Amino acid sequence: MKKVVTDEPLVFIPGLAATNALFAPQIVAFMDQPLMIADTCNADTITGMAEQLLAQAPETFALAGLSMGGYVAMEVARLAPKRVTRLALMSTNARTDSPEQSENRYKQIRIAQDGGYDKIVPGLYPNWVHPHRYDDSELKQTVIDMAQEVGAEAFIRQQTAMLTRIDQRENLKAVNCPALVLIGDSDQITPMERAEEMNAALPNSELVTVPECGHLATLEQPRATISALQAWMLRG
């Protein structure tokens, strides 16, 4: 795959229980331009994560977040719209949690607090990937390794942050930079209609559906994800 190289800084934001390994293929593809991986482990609010990113990022930058990273990306765009030159929202959603989703987060927090953190992510793995990836031992181990690196305390902070996040649907209407909404066709976490909703709200957006892909598009279908990001980086 031909590399696209610009001098525009690019910031990636990982999702829940994830590290820079979530973007390993994309880091290689964009390694010839300025790159930063945001820290999502040390704040217990989405706003706090966004403020930390803004304190560490270049003056202006392209911004790409996956899942929880998308929540942070939308908050960064709300807080500092003039600093965000491009916005990519992958496997994410502009709404707040449903009551059922909130209850699941509270349950996972309690499990982590009670010493069961190591069991949480392996149990969630089938919900995060396409059915063809259920038996992909290498991908599953990558997901587990990321969760172990993040640790229980940061996981609790991340879940707490998502429980208190705001609805961003109206705010997206003011984001005028080139935007990308990317969704796996078999994402069990983010329904397709949520991606379509964000794409419709953003004034200058393209919706890309990745085939045979669950929630972890950057790892499940790295080439398709890279191709979409490269096109987004070149759009005017």
Average pLDDT, rounded, for the chain? 96
Taking residues 58-74, what's their average pLDDT? 98
Q: What is the pLDDT of residues 91-150, one digit of tens each?
A: 999 999 999 999 999 999 999 999 999 999 999 999 999 999 999 999 999 999 999 999
| Contact present, 153 and 29 (Cβ < 8 Å) | no
In total, how many domains does the chain have? Answer: 1
Report the distance separating Cα 175 and Cα 194, nearest Å: 17
Q: How far apart are CA 182 and CA 69, in angstroms?
A: 13
Q: Under 8 Å CB-to-CB from 70, ≥6 apart: which residues?
A: 13, 15, 89, 90, 91, 92, 93
Could you count the other beta carbons within 10 Å of the beta carbon of residue 49?
Answer: 29
- Amino acid found at 130: H
Strand partners, 179: 87, 205
Q: What is the mean pLDDT of residues 39-61?
A: 98
Strand order in the sheet with 61-66: 35-37, 10-13, 61-66, 84-90, 179-184, 205-210
Name residue 210's amino acid.
Answer: V
- 6-17 residues labelled b (16+ CB within 10 A) or e (exposed): eeebbbbbbbbb
Residue 106 token pair:
């509270």
DSSP character at residue 12: E
Full DSSP string of 102-146:
HHHHHHHHHHHHTT-HHHHHHHHHHHHS-GGGTT-HHHHHHHHHH
Q: What pLDDT was estimated at residue 236? A: 77
Q: Which domain holds residue 76?
A: 1-236
Stretch 69-82: mean pLDDT: 98
Region 48-77 average pLDDT: 98
Domain harbouring 23, CATH code: 3.40.50.1820
pLDDT recorded at residue 231: 97
User: Who contacts 191 (Cβ-Cβ below 8 Å, separation ≥6)?
Assistant: 93
**Across residues 25-46, what is the average pLDDT?**
97
pLDDT value at 63 more than 60: yes
Q: Is 67 left (phi over 0), alpha (psi -120 to 50) or beta?
A: left
Neighbours of 110 (CB within 10 A): 11
